Structure 1
């Protein structure tokens, strides 16, 4: 039933998102095609974007906004129909867009924007075009010269009646110096040249990929190197644990059969068999985390599956945002089911509180982050500020779809869950825990548990960060799937090993510890995000910093829950297995 439900979700999502990706654009010679100007902003701050006409460009007489989808709104798009006109396959030179006068304040705005390397995004036939608005000559740092681009030569590639690629010929851009005059008369012109190509329309977005063959080969080699290293380390760890367990079973068996009074007293994980299945404190919160973790595993798996189907293509991250919202709403029943199931197994009775926690434990901090970032964006008049209508729309999806499905899943989990089926009977009173060395306590476990999974994914993190927080396009979803599988396997292995060592120290409090150890990789991910912001990126300013660090915090919270669930569930299987094979008193 679960498998068929997930397959149905994926088919529905492919239908929703695939219909737009597969449509073909056919045009007649001379047919008019709308040309939109979208956002402008400093190149170093991808999140800091503003409407195109916040700079003193000449505006159309009637402002007409492009019909924008939900995902594009979440991405911060604000496309406006421009006076640029490019009839299909019609060439021309030095066509006048407009002529107008720049006042002193307008000249200063352009200078400040050029000094911060502002770039503009334009859209033609759903293809993005990027261009800086000008350049600066800093030969004399005390007296830099600013040049505004006033002529843009556009180049188009077409295959029969379809547009394949758009580019700006940077060698033939014309500039005008912005001096300290009171006003400047400015003429904005543009030109168009068309070139025929045999490149297929269905693959045209591949031309926007920024991986060259050599870089792609290095990327694959780096990932495969990490893959084989992780396989060797996890294999070594698994063999070591199996050999230790074999010796433990042999020793425990000998202890049971030996009746010699001189035999050494027993020790190790066998002694806590009466407490190892004692349920953890804060069962309601633990159950909610566990249920949400299963939901997040399904969401990530669904997005990766859609990516392999080719639903997401470069420079159109809006589809991925929409897919995430839809999948989150539709998979809410999974979190409700899994949370209620384990909550019943642990003897919980506060069912309403369990469902509310499951539905809001992640949504609440996410809303707080969105409101904080949105407030800053509104203050800066940035296009990344979400309209109140969009916020209400997303909340309505959650209230009318996500929350009811969580309730339905919770009812199903409560009714159809079986018994916990613990192989050992829990004693009435907990066993006293002996003193534990500092290097085996939770803080040190977090460092050990998080480092190995992070070392398996840190190479891929660089490319992901460049895509999300930079201007690169990420399209190697096959590699991303492989890295995600590696991350799950390594997290499970290292958490199981640390759980065994904890039980060997006669510490039976492994439930929360295994969850925290599983999710501890996010500590290193967030530290890497700080390193990336300071030393790799060139981002700056309060707006960009607010978006970067708050959204990275919520992303790390997302993966903490996901990986924590993986760590706990793998430890649960391991603990049940070893105590099932143990002859206990």
Structure 2
């Protein structure tokens, strides 16, 4: 009962805090600004929900060019300077550069000219393409992404959607005539209203009048060529209450036309004090919209718990049956050899009392209210089923030299996944730590190479392997090499599109260095210790020299049907949570997935469900006198990955609006890699659970 309460307390601890609370790790300290102090505005990239390609903002040919270098106050930055990025930021496509937009604490600026950019045919067509695909811009102030504010449906809460639109498309009115390929009018946003929300800094800094930034909003606007402008180049009327209200239209051009336009870019800055937002809670506005799905998350958890409870009951019945058959005694040798016919009596009682035996007042042993004939039937059924395989159940599987490295890589991924979910659920990894999730994931994966080598070597030795160095080389290169090869090939396609999603050559070299110079030695260290110092897992029964013939198996016990049926229940546990993850990753990139407390609970239930489904499937297989359970346990455990990939395919066609061959290829490639990672992880859980189960039940019987 105590362990159950402990798990319940842990689940309550992870879920009970509001999922929007973020814990700020020490090196993200509060940055305060005295009045009139410059505040750097950083520009990052543009991205879209309909495309997997991102682009660095200053690489766009129709925006203001990268500014010349000049100091930005006391920040130590220079305009046009590239900001150093961690590995996670580079992998997610960030390209952060300091802009020349001037922000000074508490100083409003009604209008300032940023630049005037001449654009021609190619630039106009490029702008129209990105606007058509709904690209949004990401700017950053004090580690906060620029956002557009909205209110919830009931108008009780305000929330942010990160980014702002590059432009808009005005569709043709119904019945309006247009030429072939005429999609309507394209308007480029060329004026940016920046709103900085601030409050007093905590402690002594606040007493000195210093302020902290608690909100960063950007409201773009399109202002046409016909609007009157003053000597600074700013529109005379920004409010739109007078003037013609003309927008800056990107006129339609065809390739080969020599047409040019000048785009004036301007911006306004307003500082507004807002004491309703605490600095430590300033990210909450980006998560408020997720709170509406809290009830759905709870329903998903209840659904998962019901499924897991049913499985637990079935597995406990199986375990109770095998343990009971073990402690009540065994048939004599003749019954074991014949495997048929009832022989009442003749039970060889164990010395001492069994767990299910009862003692009467006279000291005699009373069987536990079970008729002896029923006991004989059960014992005979057991002897005719899984117990007959005691001489074959630990026979080395085919292609064991491949299974051992896969299990090793699965343990590596399991350690990484558990670490990421726990750190995120505790709030250490949060959106304020830009790129932290990916960076920590890579670090955990690399240093978990010790576990990979250890488990792979022990399983390899259990299979009778002797050349542990060869097995270690396969373990260290098989799965990481496959992932790197896929990423490298995809990178070639993305490079051709000049997208910031492409990994720079230096980053590829760094990844190869981490792989070959850090991970591989760690894998060898773990393998040496596991193979030479610890050794193999000893089998509780001896393996016979002649393999036993396997009878005809039912259709649901064969490879593909067993994998699909075994994976269906774990998929039912997680598919609701997957909907939220997919929505954040693929459908609404302006939001953030930050309900890792729910994910931690669902992941725990998922692991239990996989373990129980695998035990149930392997028990049924052994009762069918099929001792080829090694690969079966791995495939059944990872079977839900097939359903997850099918779910990705359905989501692509039913929910997403991704356009273009390359974006579609990236979607399915990323989905395939994610499902491989998930399948390897869950397959390892299934294998290790089945291994422990088989060792337990065969270690409990006496076989002559």
TM-score (normalised: structure 2): 0.76
| 259-268 or 176-185, larger mean C-alpha shift | 259-268
In the TM superposition, what is the alpha-carbon distance from 1:582 to its structure 2 partner?
A: 2.0
Match of residue 58, structure 1, among 55, 64, 68: 64
The answer on 1:323 being equivalent to 2:468 is no
User: Are the structure 2 counterparts of residues 468 and 315 from structure 1 closer, same or farther at C-alpha, using a change threshold of 3 Å?
Assistant: farther
Match of residue 572, structure 1, among 671, 686, 691: 691
In the TM superposition, what is the alpha-carbon distance from 1:210 to its structure 2 partner?
A: 5.0
CA deviations on 1:65-115 (whole Å, 9 max, x unpaired) are 222222111111112222211112211212221234433443333223222
CA deviations on 1:161-214 (whole Å, 9 max, x unpaired) are 111111124687984223348443432211112121232222222221253433
Secondary structure at the aligned position of 2:548 is classed as: coil
CA contact (8 A) 1:157 1:166 kept: yes
Match of residue 552, structure 2, among 435, 447, 454: 435
Give 2:644's aligned residue: 525
The answer on 1:159 being equivalent to 2:194 is no
User: Are the structure 2 counterparts of residues 518 and 176 from structure 1 closer, same or farther at C-alpha, using a change threshold of 3 Å?
Assistant: same
In the TM superposition, what is the alpha-carbon distance from 1:445 to its structure 2 partner?
A: 0.7
Give 1:30's aligned residue: 36
- Quote the Cα distance in structure 1 between the aligned partners of 2:189 and 2:612: 57
User: Are the structure 2 counterparts of residues 60 and 228 from structure 1 closer, same or farther at C-alpha, using a change threshold of 3 Å?
Assistant: closer
In the TM superposition, what is the alpha-carbon distance from 1:357 to its structure 2 partner?
A: 0.8
- Quote the Cα distance in structure 1 between the aligned partners of 2:192 and 2:113: 11
Give 1:397's aligned residue: 514
In the TM superposition, what is the alpha-carbon distance from 1:546 to its structure 2 partner?
A: 2.5
Give 1:10's aligned residue: none
Q: Which runs of 5+ in 1 are unaligned?
A: 1-16
Q: Map of 1:275-294 to 2, 5 A cutoff?
A: 275-294=392-411
Give 2:99's aligned residue: 82
Q: Map of 1:464-543 to 2, 5 A cutoff?
A: 464-470=581-587, 471=589, 472-543=591-662
CA contact (8 A) 1:344 1:417 kept: no
CA deviations on 1:471-490 (whole Å, 9 max, x unpaired) are 13111111111111111110
CA contact (8 A) 1:65 1:79 kept: yes
Secondary structure at the aligned position of 2:342 is classed as: coil
The answer on 1:197 being equivalent to 2:274 is yes
- Quote the Cα distance in structure 1 between the aligned partners of 2:464 and 2:24: 45
- Quote the Cα distance in structure 2 between the aligned partners of 1:218 and 1:262: 56
Q: Which runs of 5+ in 2 are unaligned?
A: 1-22, 69-79, 147-162, 201-210, 222-238, 254-258, 344-379
In the TM superposition, what is the alpha-carbon distance from 1:523 to its structure 2 partner?
A: 0.5
- Quote the Cα distance in structure 2 between the aligned partners of 1:388 and 1:245: 58
| 446-455 or 23-32, larger mean C-alpha shift | 23-32
The answer on 1:230 being equivalent to 2:307 is yes
The answer on 1:44 being equivalent to 2:66 is no
Give 2:86's aligned residue: 69
- Quote the Cα distance in structure 2 between the aligned partners of 1:212 and 1:515: 36
- Quote the Cα distance in structure 2 between the aligned partners of 1:484 and 1:212: 19
In the TM superposition, what is the alpha-carbon distance from 1:296 to its structure 2 partner?
A: 1.6
CA contact (8 A) 2:108 2:271 kept: yes
| 39-48 or 523-532, larger mean C-alpha shift | 39-48
- Quote the Cα distance in structure 1 between the aligned partners of 2:332 and 2:324: 12
- Quote the Cα distance in structure 2 between the aligned partners of 1:79 and 1:224: 39
CA contact (8 A) 1:52 1:120 kept: no
User: Are the structure 2 counterparts of residues 67 and 20 from structure 1 closer, same or farther at C-alpha, using a change threshold of 3 Å?
Assistant: farther
In the TM superposition, what is the alpha-carbon distance from 1:258 to its structure 2 partner?
A: 6.5
Match of residue 135, structure 1, among 168, 176, 183: 168
- Quote the Cα distance in structure 2 between the aligned partners of 1:461 and 1:249: 42
In the TM superposition, what is the alpha-carbon distance from 1:316 to its structure 2 partner?
A: 5.3
In the TM superposition, what is the alpha-carbon distance from 1:393 to its structure 2 partner?
A: 1.0
Secondary structure at the aligned position of 2:140 is classed as: strand
Secondary structure at the aligned position of 1:367 is classed as: helix
**More helix per residue: 1 or 2?**
1
CA contact (8 A) 2:634 2:687 kept: yes
In the TM superposition, what is the alpha-carbon distance from 1:410 to its structure 2 partner?
A: 1.0
TM-score (normalised: structure 1): 0.91
| 425-434 or 24-33, larger mean C-alpha shift | 24-33
Secondary structure at the aligned position of 2:91 is classed as: helix
User: Are the structure 2 counterparts of residues 310 and 44 from structure 1 closer, same or farther at C-alpha, using a change threshold of 3 Å?
Assistant: same
CA contact (8 A) 1:454 1:525 kept: yes
CA deviations on 1:417-436 (whole Å, 9 max, x unpaired) are 24523221111111111111
- Quote the Cα distance in structure 2 between the aligned partners of 1:101 and 1:48: 23
| 59-68 or 170-179, larger mean C-alpha shift | 170-179
- Quote the Cα distance in structure 2 between the aligned partners of 1:566 and 1:417: 21
- Quote the Cα distance in structure 1 between the aligned partners of 2:55 and 2:332: 70
CA deviations on 1:105-132 (whole Å, 9 max, x unpaired) are 4333322322222211112222112111
Larger radius of gyration, structure 1 or 2?
2
Give 1:14's aligned residue: none
The answer on 1:119 being equivalent to 2:136 is yes
Give 2:578's aligned residue: 461
User: Are the structure 2 counterparts of residues 262 and 320 from structure 1 closer, same or farther at C-alpha, using a change threshold of 3 Å?
Assistant: closer
| 132-141 or 346-355, larger mean C-alpha shift | 132-141
CA contact (8 A) 1:51 1:382 kept: no
Q: Map of 1:130-279 to 2, 5 A cutoff?
A: 130-140=163-173, 142=178, 143=182, 144-160=184-200, 161-169=211-219, 175-180=247-252, 182-198=259-275, 199-219=277-297, 221-242=298-319, 245=322, 253=330, 262-263=341-342, 267-279=384-396
Secondary structure at the aligned position of 1:394 is classed as: helix
In the TM superposition, what is the alpha-carbon distance from 1:514 to its structure 2 partner?
A: 0.7
- Quote the Cα distance in structure 2 between the aligned partners of 1:374 and 1:262: 67
CA contact (8 A) 1:75 1:317 kept: no
Secondary structure at the aligned position of 1:49 is classed as: strand
Match of residue 408, structure 1, among 522, 525, 536: 525
CA contact (8 A) 1:65 1:80 kept: yes
CA deviations on 1:317-361 (whole Å, 9 max, x unpaired) are 511111111111211111111111222232211111111011012
- Quote the Cα distance in structure 1 between the aligned partners of 2:329 and 2:127: 79
In the TM superposition, what is the alpha-carbon distance from 1:274 to its structure 2 partner?
A: 0.7
| 236-245 or 69-78, larger mean C-alpha shift | 236-245
Match of residue 298, structure 1, among 399, 415, 429: 415
CA contact (8 A) 1:156 1:165 kept: yes
User: Are the structure 2 counterparts of residues 347 and 18 from structure 1 closer, same or farther at C-alpha, using a change threshold of 3 Å?
Assistant: farther
| 230-239 or 383-392, larger mean C-alpha shift | 230-239
Give 1:8's aligned residue: none
- Quote the Cα distance in structure 1 between the aligned partners of 2:26 and 2:127: 37
CA deviations on 1:108-161 (whole Å, 9 max, x unpaired) are 332232222221111222211211111111133745122121221111111221
